[in-house]
Structure 1
Amino acid sequence: MLRARLTLVAVLTAVAAILVTLIASYRSVSPLVAEQVDRGLADRADTVLALLGTDAPIPVRPDMTEQLLLADGTVRVLTPGRNALPVTEIDRTIARTGVGTADTNIMVDGVEHGVVTKPHPGGGAVMVSQNYADVIRVDREFFWRTLGITGVAVLAAALIGWLAIGRILRPIRRLATATRQVATTQDLSTLLPRTTRGEVGDLTESFNTMLAALRLSRAQQRRLVEDASHELRTPLTSVRGSAELLQRADGRLDPADETRVIATLVQEAKALDALVGELVDLSTNQRTTEEPAVVDLTELADERAERCRRRTGRDITRTGAESVLVTARPQALARCLDNLLDNVVKYSPPDTAIAIHLDGTRLSVRDHGPGIDPTDQRSIFDRFYRAGRTRATPGSGLGLAIVHDIVTAHHGTVFAGNRPGGGAEVGFQLPPGG
């Protein structure tokens, strides 16, 4: 579960931060406490040394014991009711020579004591010890209180992290639920409101954009199937009728009629083959896997014009810019030019010239035909659209639709219109770049 994993990471991070802080604090505080205890022992020894030369009594502290070590090793306890402190060889040396100090730790009745020894100006040395029981108790209380505070802090971090992460992940859970619903019901009408900003909001927006693209794609596929079924019906009906006529005639048709029927079958079969090929190109766009490259639009126009000139015998020229570089898929762009030229060859008089004109990245194919009816200019790039005056001309109505799809995929635009001097002008414009 993502929420639990994120909460665990947050808690572990908080624990690590708290532990690092506590360890650093303890290590910085502990030397200060030890230094303070040592300073207290030294100050107590100085106080005892000052009071020994006067008649003033030595104040009694419950955690401290004082004694006087004479030069001959004799011990005189200065704190009533206390046992004598153990004496080391270093302590005797200080008492005998009157030089130096000593700081040691000893165990008395299982409790650690700190002992400081300082020389007495009148001879001997003063020894002062402090019971570390209170210091150890404070240290233990500090440890357990710190541990308790750490536990409370960890629990608070876990609770706050759990609630905060749950709130952060709420849009993602809604997104996951919507995704499962779409996958289960195939209903692409589901939309998520963008309730947050940042990455989650961007993800929601991307999800909605993806659904919109899928809805458009499904609608286009449905329309393509409907239009294709409509367009296929006519040639299939013609093929079926001709085949049934030949079947019923059983060889009794007049040779001339039989030749016409067979010619109709061949013509309709060719039309079906061309239509199916264009449908495959339009629906799958096999050239989308082609890598974009820098293309000289002028060279490509000259190459496709020469190809069409050899195939049709038409007079095709190229005018305008001498070198135009664009970034595009070369084969797809070549298909655009072929379709534009085929369209012009099909719908312009055979004895008229055709021109390819380049104005920067704007390429147009011009003819001297009857032009395009204003009511058809916006529709000629639609799939299966056939203008009224061209319905009797062989064709599928998909050539310019393929041009539209390829140019749009290259972030370009298509256009169609009539030239002032007569004739049609159809073409596209691509973004500059090379």
Structure 2
Amino acid sequence: MALALAGMAAAAYVVVGHELNSTLDLSLRRQATRIARQFPAEPSVAAISGPCRYLAAPSCVQVVGADGGIRSEHLPDQSLPVNAETRAVAAGSADAFFTDFSLDGYPMRMYTVQLEPGSAVQVAQRADTVDTGRRRVGLALLAAAVAGLLLAALLGTVLARRALAPVGALTDAAERVARTRDPKHHIAVSGSDELARLAVSVNTMLDELDAALTAERESRAAQQRLVADASHELRTPLTALRTNIDLLRRAERMPAGDLAETVAALRVQSEELSGLVTDLIDLARADDPDAVRENLEDLRLDLLTADCLAVTRRHWPAVGFEADLHPVTIQGVPARLARAITNLLDNAAKFSPPDGLVRVVVADRALSVRDSGPGIPAADLPHIFDRFYRSQSARATPGHGLGLAIVAQVAALHRATPEVESTSGGTCFTLTFPEGCAASGKVDAETVVRSGGLILGG
């Protein structure tokens, strides 16, 4: 900006100086023309009775012959300079010309032109007016340039602050996040320029960071709860296992019946402990949703349910199963879904009486399992999917309170909705899969359980 203003001021100074010189030269030409017109009729106009009498001071006039002699009256101490070029103009062998000289210490500008054959007229005028004008213009331009620089600096500062305000907001937001470790501080967005787009991008980044931190906190809290609950649940079976092992140390003094009973108890306790550890591992693995989404594949929910039914029938031969399976294709992880379905079937069989019936339906993107048990108290329903939660009536049955928690977690990883309805005549668990992840298809010939309500009894 300073260089531009300096360049403009210098150019203006040169142009103004040139215009002032041109104006002075034009004035001298006009005066010479005026004398040339009046001199033939009135030769006395060239007579000078005083300094620069012919024209108003500070102009001076002088008529010179071809021999260099001065033909007009003049003051000796104020004669205009005459040289060979002046004589040549008077003789008509040279063109008119301008020259600069000094007279009595004053700068002068003189114009020499032929007056008539054999004579020339010299018209001179003080040139310090041009220098004075140029000097005044230079001072004015300098003042204008300084004022322009100050104004430009002021406007530049204001505009820069206004333009960089979003950058300052970005910096403040980054410093707040770094200081408070809280990405909830957003940046006010105004306009639609690049800085506004940058602010929107930073706000989006802060939202993503906040979501990631929230998910991390929730995951850490869930892991801490899992560890605490697991420690509590493992204490009882480990204590029982340690007690039975201590009894086996005195096996040689135990009756054969007591020894066999202790060994059987150890086997049951080890199986329960193994099942508990397996459930804990499944819950820990399910806390990583990305690991599940990477392995999603198309699968037939009806066929997977049929396979799980076949396994459950062998575990619960005294319970009957009624299956109404319609062909439904979804995206999921077969092993995880099979575990959730098996948990629902085992839970229904466990709470059904020996002659009870478990009804299983797959249709319209949903899987429902209904038992014929006593039902779940209304106070327990809100907590039925919590980890290690067991209602008062369920504490007398085998289990650790993780089966339905695994069902809920697998459902969440597959974006399915778990629901439960319970009455005094039984409880119904339903997994509903979202739109877009399920599609109907034909049931192939190898379907274990066909639709139509076929009852499989044990």
Distance 1:399 1:117, change over 3 A: farther
Alignment partners' CA distance in 1, 2:405 and 2:82: 109
Contact 2:357 2:371 in 1 (8 A): yes
Residues 384 and 390 in structure 2, CA contact (< 8 A), matched pair in contact too: yes
Inter-partner Cα distance in structure 2 for 1:82 and 1:145: 47
Q: Which amino acid aligns with 2:266?
A: L
Shift of 1:269: 0.9
Q: Which residue of 2 aligns with 1:403?
A: 407
- Cα deviation, 1:167-208, whole Å, max 9, x if unaligned, reads 8755654443333xxxxxxxxxxx899697456888887777
Residue type of the alignment partner of 1:43: T
Counterpart position of 2:443 = none
AA of the residue aligned to 1:233: R
Q: Which amino acid aligns with 1:378?
A: P
Distance in 1 of aligned mates of 2:122 and 2:80: 17
Which protein is bigger by CA-based radius of gyration? Answer: 2
Cα distance, 1:118–1:154 mapped onto 2, change above 3 Å? farther
Query: What residue in structure 2 maps to residue 15 of structure 1?
Result: none
How do 1:228-243 residues align onto structure 2 when only pairs under 5 Å count?
A: 228-243=230-245
Structure 2 residue corresponding to 1:51, chosen from 28, 31, 44: 31
1:111-143: CA deviations, max 9, x gaps? xx9x99897887789899754656556666666
Aligned 1:339-354 pairs, distance under 5 A:
339-349=343-353, 354=358
Instruction: Report what 1:423 is aligned to.
Output: 426
Deviation at 1:255, TM superposition (A): 1.9
1:78-128 Cα distance to aligned partner (Å, 9 max, x none) = xx989979999xx98xx96659x99x9x999xxxx9x99897887789899
Verify the 8 A CA contact 1:49 1:120 in the aligned structure 2: no
- Aligned-partner residue type, residue 388 of structure 2: F
Q: Which amino acid aligns with 2:429?
A: V
Q: Would the aligned equivalents of 1:418 and 1:425 in 2 still touch at CA under 8 Å? A: yes
Q: 1:41 to 1:258 in 2, by over 3 A?
A: same
TM-score (norm 2): 0.62
| 3-state DSSP of counterpart to 2:344 | helix
- 1:40 aligned to which of 11, 20, 25: 20
Give 1:310 deviation, angstroms. Answer: 4.1
Q: Secondary structure at the match of 2:21?
A: helix
2 CA distance for matches of 1:225 and 1:272? 15
Contact 2:302 2:325 in 1 (8 A): no
**Which residue of the partner structure matches residue 184 of structure 1?**
none
SS at match of 1:414: strand
Deviation track 1:254-301 (CA, whole Å, cap 9, x = no partner) reads: 22221110111111111111111212222343653233576556x034
2:178 to 171, 176, 179: 176
The answer to whether the Cα contact below 8 Å between 1:239 and 1:268 also exists between their aligned partners in 2 is yes
For 1:345 and 1:69, locate their aligned partners in 2 and report how far apart those are by CA, in whole Å: 140
Please, which of 316, 321, 328 is the counterpart of residue 323 of structure 1?
328
- 1:197-249, CA deviations, whole angstroms, 9 ceiling, x for partnerless residues? 456888887777667656655554443333223322221221112111122x2
Letter in 2 for 1:267: V
Answer yes or no: is the 8 Å Cα contact 1:363–1:427 preserved in 2.
Answer: yes
| Equivalent residue letter for 1:424 | T
Name the aligned partner's letter for residue 236 of structure 2: T
Shift of 1:399: 1.5
Offset, 1:363: 2.6
The residue number in structure 1 matching 2:253 is 252
CA contact (8 A) 1:98 1:121 kept: no
1: CA distance between counterparts of 2:359 and 2:348? Answer: 10
**Aligned-partner SS, 1:426:** strand
Contact 1:98 1:125 in 2 (8 A): no
Measured against aligned partners, the alpha-carbon deviations of 1:285-329 in whole angstroms (never above 9, x if no partner) come to 3653233576556x0341243144146447463434x33545x55
Which residue pairs with 1:7 in the alignment? none
CA contact (8 A) 1:98 1:124 kept: no
The whole-number CA distance in structure 2 between the counterparts of 1:355 and 1:86 is 134
Corresponding position of 1:271: 272
Which secondary structure does the structure 1 equivalent of 2:233 belong to?
helix
Structure 1, gaps ≥5 residues long: 1-18, 180-190
Measured at CA, do residues 49 and 404 of structure 1 come closer, stay the same or move farther in structure 2, by a change above 3 Å?
same
2: CA distance between counterparts of 1:86 and 1:244? 142
Q: What's 1:394 paired with?
A: 398
Partner of 2:384: 380
- Residues 158 and 312 of structure 1: CA distance in aligned 2, closer, same or farther (over 3 Å): same
| Cα displacement (A) at 1:416 | 1.0
CA distance in 1, matches of 2:67, 2:393: 135
TM-score, normalised relative to structure 1: 0.65
Describe how 1:199-210 pairs up with structure 2 within 5 A. Answer: none
- Say if 1:302 and 1:318, in contact at 8 Å, map to a contact too: no
Equivalent residue of 2:381, what SS?
A: coil
Partner amino acid for 1:367? Answer: D
Question: CA separation in 1, counterparts of 2:135 and 2:394?
Answer: 110
Kindly indicate whether the alpha-carbon contact (under 8 Å) linking 2:64 and 2:121 is maintained by their aligned counterparts in 1: yes
1:360 to partner: Cα distance: 3.2
Do the aligned partners of residues 213 and 227 (structure 1) sit closer, same or farther apart at CA in structure 2, a change above 3 Å counting? same
How many angstroms apart in 2 are the aligned matches of 1:250 and 1:107?
140
Structure 2 counterpart of 1:14: none
C-alpha distance in 1 between matches for 2:400 and 2:411? 19
The secondary structure found in structure 2 opposite 1:390 is coil
**Cα root mean square deviation, aligned:** 5.3
CA shift at 1:432, angstroms?
Answer: 1.6
- C-alpha contact 1:319 1:355 (8 A) present in aligned 2: no
